[in-house]
Amino acid sequence: MINKKFSFILMHVGFIIYSFYSVAGKTASINNQSKSIIIFFYVLIFLILGLYAIIWQQILKVFTLSFAYTNKAVIIIWGMIWGKLFFNEQFTLRKFIAVLLIFSGILILNLSKSKEGANE
């Protein structure tokens, strides 16, 4: 069986990889003058999603679907980070509060799961 700590890290690396599909999609839509650039980014999206699908299947061998899917909400945070870094999108107070709520929910879930695992 795969180590749970390694699997948890792999799951979040997978989420980071998955979050790049939105960067590639937005870049393709911004650079819509060249069909070759659009095709490149759509192929990149396909590769990103393929790699993520492989990682996701490995994660589901270790964690329950409900646990893994709840952690997937971290993609929203990564999307906001990539939006700021690549597209100079603005952070607002509402977005910051939303990120705090998402992170709090993930943290609560992970802490409760770790306590359940300790009791087993």
pLDDT digits (tens, 9 = 90+) for 43-54: 999 999 999 999
Residue with tokens 């999206």: 45
pLDDT at residue 2 above 80?
no
- Say whether pTM exceeds 0.85: no
pLDDT at residue 67 above 90?
no
CB 56 within 8 A of CB 10: no
CB 15 within 8 A of CB 75: yes
Nearest of 20, 18, 21, 1 to residue 68 by alpha carbon: 18
**pLDDT tier for residue 58 given thresholds of 50, 70 and 90:** very high
Radius of gyration over every alpha carbon of the chain, rounded to an integer in angstroms:
17
Amino acid at 8: F
CB 31 within 8 A of CB 69: no
